[in-house]
Amino acid sequence: MLIACPSCAAEYEVPDRLLAAGPRMMRCARCGNQFQAGAAAPPHEAAAAPPEAPSTVPTPLPPLAAPPAPEPTSAAPPRRAPAPPRPVPMMPPATDRVAVLGWIATGITLFGGAAAALANHKAISEAWPPATRLFQALGIG
């Protein structure tokens, strides 16, 4: 039997044995519209024309005993609830403590080296004469 979707006019050749028990709900493979097909369905005007080869056969739905399950409105996955905020740690993690100690040691070394250079600027200028210009630029004669 030639069945046409009332929404998009897609035509399907449905075996008579599927509709022998009476009208059935069908779903169009092209647009997804659900419609009743069978003896109670209105005849299609183009039935006299030679039928085209159907692209797909619609799948028959179960009898009208239960309403069809609602289809999801979007293909997006459901959203998860946001994670609770993490508590602020009182002490930094061990890797951060090591980095902080490294920066402190670097600062002490640089400060100590600068203090030693200022304290011994005369000896440094005698050993390396170009350093005299550096000390004069800093205001240390």
Domain boundaries, the chain: 2-60, 94-137
Output the 3-class SS for the chain.
Answer: CEEECCCCCCEEECCHHHCCCCCEEEECCCCCCEEEECCCCCCCHHHHCCCCCCCCCCEECCCCCCCCCCCCCCCCCCCCCCCCCCCCCCCCCHHHHHHHHHHHHHHHHHHHHHHHHHHCHHHHHHHCCCHHHHHHHCCCC
The answer to whether 121 and 135 are in contact (CB under 8 A) is yes
Mean pLDDT, the chain, whole residue set: 78
Residues 77-98: tens digit of each pLDDT: 667 888 888 776 666 666 788 8
For residues 66 and 46, which has the higher predicted lDDT (pLDDT)? Answer: 66
Supply the pLDDT for residue 45: 44
Q: Is-above-0.75 flag for pTM?
A: no
